[in-house]
Structure 1
Amino acid sequence: MKLSYYGHSCFAVELKGKKVLFDPFISPNELAKDIDPAQVEADNILISHGHQDHIADAVDIAKRTQATVISNFEIITWLQDKGIENVVPMNLGGLVELDFGKVKYVNAVHSSMLPDGSYGGNPGGFVVMADECNFYYAGDTALTLDMQLIPRYTKLDLAILPIGDCLTMGIEDAITTCDFIQCNKVMGVHYDTFPNIKIDHNKAVERFRKADKDLQLVKIGDTVNF
């Protein structure tokens, strides 16, 4: 699976020839200043929750690309009010079949408020089951026992986990997450963007290695294969 990283928790994957973009937060991110959101393509956009640092560029990209947006009911309603027409509203525990694979919307322990202060519904994560790869994008979350349910319905090839601590779980809880979801290959997200989530990259990678797990910290702007 080809994955392009746009900083913070924003990334895109290619599945069955479709470009699937997650949590578009690019233009306000100083660390992603070399990424032009007007050049980012998407056939589908998945939004985990309503915070600005996960949705800032969603309206502009969705309007330009005519991508189908998948998120919780409240976020979808908010986007429809802004003129977004191609939508799939979900709620926790739901599963949909899309043109690139199956998507299950799973629990995240966090908060969710949209940029204008309105209610953003329940935060969540996504389990994507596709021919190329099965992966779990946790969104913003604390460690939760609900993660242990994921291996009951799919075997993961990759986990995309927040590791910055303070606002989400940190390194140690992310390592425990690997055990819960039975997946030791991890891409880290939600770190370095703000002062309170900066991490020591070398120490993080080494801590995962000592736990017999593989942490990948992808450089912003890079495209890698998983």
Structure 2
Amino acid sequence: MRIQYLGHSAVYIETGSHRLIIDPFIEGNALCPVPLEELLARDLTHVLITHAHGDHWGNALDFARRGAVVVGTAEIAGYAQQNGVQAHAMNIGGRWQFEWGSVRLTPAWHSSSFPDGTYGGMPTGMVLEVEGQRIYHAGDTARFSDMRLIGDLDLDLAFLPIGDNFTMGVHDAAESLHDLRPDLTVPVHYNTFPPIRTDPQEFVSAAELRGFAARVVQPGDWL
């Protein structure tokens, strides 16, 4: 499995013959070093959406019109289907086994609406199980106490927002590690826009101070 961070909250995953993207905000994402055309040429199979805001929904329809299946809440899947693309509807607490692995939707404390104002359902996080590894993408969220239940899933890798203002900031994200207990955390959702500017190294230091491993991954780099 290979994972590429594309800036903001966009994460690309290759596993076997499958290619996934989470929250594909590419156009308009000044931090993404990979052009949309290059990503479209990878022939993605699945597009996973944590919530409907434009900086997460992003270019979902561009990938879906090339054959990728949109995965998200019933509202997100329904919106995708209304736009003529394939989708798989889920909801919080549900888990579905795909050919490449499973997706479980988790709670997230945020809001969710499409750029045109259509209601996007409840915001979510996601726990993916791929090649025996559990990957948590928190989406946009505040810190909340039930993160300890997500941590009980034995997480190998977590992507956590740290930009503050719209989500957790550095301190709350670092404190959430006591509940999530991942083997490794990568900070996301920072420095894309002025209101979410922060120093990701502060998060790494705060995580390590609490006994947890964290790493800044530059947009375009691979895990």
Structure 1 length-normalised TM? 0.92
Task: Give the structure 2 partner of residue 77 of structure 1.
Answer: 78
Instruction: Measure, in 1, the Cα distance between the counterparts of 2:147 and 2:62.
Output: 33
- 3-state secondary structure, aligned to 2:165: coil
Q: Aligned ranges for residues 1-226 of structure 1 at < 5 Å? A: 1-32=1-32, 34-40=33-39, 41=42, 42-64=44-66, 66-84=67-85, 86-152=86-152, 154-224=153-223
Q: In structure 1, how many angstroms separate the alpha carbons of the residues matched to 2:58 and 2:113?
A: 12
Aligned-partner SS, 1:161: strand
Are the aligned partners of 1:38 and 1:61 in contact in 2 as well (CA < 8 Å)? no
- Give the deviation of 1:105 after TM superposition: 0.5
CA contact (8 A) 1:184 1:212 kept: no
In structure 1, the gaps of 5 or more residues are: none
Could you tell which deviates more after superposition, 40-49 or 211-220? 211-220
Secondary structure at the counterpart of residue 28 of structure 2? coil
Q: Give 3-state SS (helix, strand or coil) of 1:103's partner.
A: strand
| CA distance, structure 2, for counterparts of residue 20 and residue 8 of structure 1 | 16
SS in structure 1 of the partner of residue 195 of structure 2: helix
Contact 2:174–2:203, Cα closer than 8 Å, also in 1:
no
1:121 to partner: Cα distance: 0.5
Conserved 8 A contact 2:201-2:216: no
Query: What 5-or-longer segments of structure 2 have no aligned partner?
Result: none
Give the TM-score, by structure 2 length.
0.94
| Alignment root-mean-square deviation, CA | 1.4
Deviation string 1:168-208 (CA, Å, 9 cap, x unpaired) is 01111112221112224101110000111111233232222
* Divergent runs of 4+, >6 A: none
Number of aligned residue pairs: give it.
220
Query: Which whole-Å CA distance do the structure 1 matches of 2:151 and 2:221 have between them?
Result: 29
